[in-house]
Structure formats: C-alpha cells, structure tokens
Structure 1
C-alpha cells in the first residue's frame, strides 16, 4: 500500500534540518497530517587494517544519554560528494586519513520520520596524520577486532543503526 504526499509546508528550518507538515492520503483515501524531518545527507567512513580491526570512536550522545561505538560521520556539505565528506569527517574525528574509499552501503535510519540518507564507506588503508581536529567528538578512538562486532551489537555497545549496519556488512565482507 502506498501513501501519497499531497503537499508539504515548512514549520521550522535551520542549517541542519527542516520540519515540514505533510498532507498525506492513505490508500483508502483517508487524509492525515504527518510531520516530516528533511535532512542533509550524512557520510561515514572507517578503515579495516590487516589484522581485521576496524577504527571506531567511543562517544556519548546526549539526546539519548547513551554511550557507544560509532563510525566517524558528518553531514555532506554543499558541493561535496558523500565520499569526500566521509574522508574529511574520518580525518577530522580520528586523525586518520583513509586510503581509497569503497562504498559499503547507504541506509535510511529513520525513514518513517526523516528523509536522512547515510552513506557509509571503508578503506583497507589509512595514514595517521595526527590527533583528531574535533577531539570533542569522542572520548577515545580504538582499533576494534572485527570478529567482536556481532557480540558488541548484541550487547548494545553499538546503538547507532548506521554504524551497526555498516559493521555487520564489513564483518560479512571480511570474515564471512
């Protein structure tokens, strides 16, 4: 069954997102109001080294008051490709510049409420360029054995859906 977006009007806007109110028609003809969050694309990246360890950030998210492992990630700036944004964010947040990036997957982490699309990349090599430029982004950065990923996700240590999906895909590609 397909819902139809008849129209939308903006109710709030800032540089990171906007909230719209949509007039939606359901398959049976019923109409309803539905809030929609419109967001810029997000790009994320990591490196998997020769020991099959993945570079992750340990960080706190104040919105959910939770701690967890995440990939380096951020918004794709105007005029920037998702791949370039992923490389930029990884270096800014970890101090590691990835080698040639490979597209891992793209996900819609909350498609019942938002049009956010997250593009995840990975590389088999990286160059340490120094400390993270955005040290406030995480408490620490570590190389985590990829073989531990499924259990970490099961224990809730990877609460971000984009990171969980990407790590499971990397686990499958490298160890599956």
Structure 2
C-alpha cells in the first residue's frame, strides 16, 4: 500500500536536523500533512578485541536524562564515507584506533517519522593512541565482555538503537562462529 507525496516544506532547519511537513495521501485517500524529521546519517563502530570484548562508553544523554553504555558513533560528514566516520569517531571518543572497518549492518530506526540512516561497522582489532580527544562524550571507556552484553541489554544498561542494532548483530555473528 503506497502512500503518495505531493510536496514538502521545511518548518525548522539547522546543521543537525530539519523538521518538515510533507503533504501525503494514504492508500485510503485521506490526505494530510505529516511531520518528518530529516537527520544526517549516523555511523557506528563495533570494535572488538582478541579477548571477545567490545569497546563501549558509559555516557549520559540529557534528552532522556539517562545513563547507558553505547558504542562509539557520530554523524557522517559531507567529505566522509560512513566507514571513515565510524573509525574517526571511535578514535576521537575512545582513544582506540580501530583496524579495518567492515560493514556490519544497516538500519533505519524510526522510518515512520525520520529518514535517519544508521551504518554500523565492525573492526576486530584496535590500537590505543592516547586519551580521547572528544572530552564531552563519556565518563568511562571500557572493553566489555561479549558474554555479558545480553544481560546488560536486559537490565536496560544499553538502550540506544545504534548500539543495540550493532551489538545484537555482533552477538549473532559470534553465535554462528
């Protein structure tokens, strides 16, 4: 059942987000303006080491006033590929330079309201380069054993969709090995 679009207008815009009203018609003929949030694409880094541990950050998100573990991630810049962004963000946020980044999974976490694209990459090694250059990203950076990730998700210690999608896919990969 295809929805038809007749036009779009921005009602707010800045470097990070565009809020739009899209003139749409549903398959049943009802026509209205639908709010759409247009976001820049996101790249996520799932960095593992030889001990079956994954690199994560403990951080506060003011929007939901919550603390949780997250994978390194950031917005894809115009002059970067998503893989380059994932590697850069991992090093800036954690001080660990990932080895070769391999595409892991692609997701659109809320495609009924936003066009945000999440590109998740995996690296199976990393080299410590020094303290993170991004000082406002996290309180702690740790290598978390993969066998503890499921219980952390169950306890809602990991809640961001970019992290969840990446971690669950890594766990599926590891189960198949």
**TM-score interval (norm. to shorter):** over 0.9
Work out the CA distance in 2 between the residues paired with 1:132 and 1:79: 22
Task: Extract unaligned runs of 5+ from structure 2.
Answer: none
1:169 lines up with 2:173 in the alignment: no
Task: Give the 3-state SS of the residue equivalent to 1:147 in structure 2.
Answer: helix
Work out the CA distance in 2 between the residues paired with 1:76 and 1:26: 32
Shifted more, 147-156 versus 83-92: the winner is 147-156
Task: Extract unaligned runs of 5+ from structure 1.
Answer: none
Work out the CA distance in 1 between the residues paired with 2:58 and 2:175: 23
What is the CA-CA distance between 1:135 and the residue it aligns to? 2.2
Could you say which residue in structure 2 is the equivalent of 1:142? 142
**TM-score under structure 1 normalisation?**
0.97
1:116 lines up with 2:126 in the alignment: no
Residues 1-41 of structure 1: per-residue CA shift (max 9 Å, x gap) = 22222210011110111111011100011101111111111
Could you say which residue in structure 1 is the equivalent of 2:11? 11
What is the CA-CA distance between 1:115 and the residue it aligns to? 0.2
- 8 A Cα contact 2:46 2:167, kept in partner: no
- 8 A Cα contact 2:46 2:166, kept in partner: no
- Deviating runs (4+, > 3 A) in structure 1? none
What is the CA-CA distance between 1:82 and the residue it aligns to? 0.4
Aligned positions of 1:9-158 closer than 5 A = 9-158=9-158
Aligned length: 176
Residues 33-64 of structure 1: per-residue CA shift (max 9 Å, x gap) = 11111111111113111110000011010001
**TM-score under structure 2 normalisation?**
0.96
Work out the CA distance in 1 between the residues paired with 2:175 and 2:128: 25
Residues 88-132 of structure 1: per-residue CA shift (max 9 Å, x gap) = 000000000000011111111111111000101111110100000
Task: Give the 3-state SS of the residue equivalent to 2:133 in structure 1.
Answer: coil
